[in-house]
Amino acid sequence: MFISSPVRGVAMKFLASTLVPKHSTGSARPALSRRERFRELVELARWAEDVGYDAFGVGERHNPDLLSSSPAVILAHIAARTRRIRLVTTVAVLSLTDPVRTAEDYATLDHLSDGRLDLIIGKGGDRVAPSVFQVPEADLWDRLEEAYELVRRLWRENEVDWRGRFRPPLSGATIEPHPLQQPAPRVWHGSATSRRSTELAARWGDPLYSANGLGRTETYLELVRHYRERLAHHGHRAEDALVAVGVHSPIITDRSQDALALARPVFEASVRQHFSDPSRFPFDSLEDFVANGSALVGTAEQITEKLLRMQRQFGNQVFGVGVEGFFSTYTTDLAATKGYLERFFDEVAPVVRAEVPTTLWDSRPDGTALPITA
């Protein structure tokens, strides 16, 4: 029976993330109702806390194939069912929502979770969403930048006077509650394709989450290099930058050829169904995806070495390791996915944690240490 490894302080952190696909992991499983799917998601978050994840993320999407349109609500319920794990938006789409309501919702979540909130924000990459909200796609970046500046002020100030392009002006506005965490909760900027996100993060001296999802590693590395350059330009210490990097849910076996054999039909079916456009998915084989992308397929030793190599390249303190990602979503059942991740936290994570020091997420808002997972 698997026994989770202790979550040790001063060590690399791991973030679970999901977009809450309407149909859960495993095509062979019977379809779940929406109610059942949400219950499964909450249990998945509880399992993630027990197995050794440091944070659990839900990404905001407004898409008929996904159930993650309200991450603040989902994370608030997860907060009531967990005790240690950080609660993260992966990402919150500030370009579509009213910044005053966003500030209120997530400040409330920060209190309900005893100060466990981290916000990752982004423009959003879902083409369905702008039409649902009747927001021109050409305005999304500008709306994100404006909304974030207002959220920052509302979390830090009382009696805010403000005027922008995309919502009515404010005069003497104060929200309740302000966040529990003081200073205000950490805000990361989700980065996938554009320097607009790295520039915005650098301007404010905020941390960066490099999605590292479906592109080549070098593409994401270039964006992280740009982020560090712009941090220095804006007067921040680039050497102090917080960076997180995403990778896909692992497939771990004793022999690498067995892992590749398990992953290959998933890879080929996914490319045929979803990723036939080379501009969206620039890999011509599974081996290419493993060598030059974010796939974790192989032995525990191979996956450990890959993560340590990536960490040396990116200089990150967090790995976002999906729980419902590229491989797990399409064919393997939930039990198999959990089995790979349990092995990951038993054999891979302890080595990576020992190699990469960070004090991120090691204490509560009052400075006391978080409990250790037994």
Write the pLDDT tens digit of every residue in 296-343: 999 999 999 999 999 999 999 999 999 986 665 554 578 889 999 999
Q: Is the pLDDT of residue 45 over 60?
A: yes
Both structure tokens of 20: 């809450």
| pLDDT at residue 367 in the model | 61
Average pLDDT over residues 5-17: 74
- pLDDT, tens digit, for every residue of 199-220? 999 999 999 999 999 999 999 9
Q: Give residue for tokens 């990469």.
A: 356
Judge contact between 15 and 55, C-beta under 8 A.
yes
Instruction: Evaluate if residue 6 carries a pLDDT over 60.
Output: no
Q: Provide mean pLDDT across the span 255-260.
A: 98
Give tens-digit pLDDT for 88-137: 999 999 999 999 999 999 999 999 999 999 999 999 988 899 999 999 99
pLDDT at 270: 86
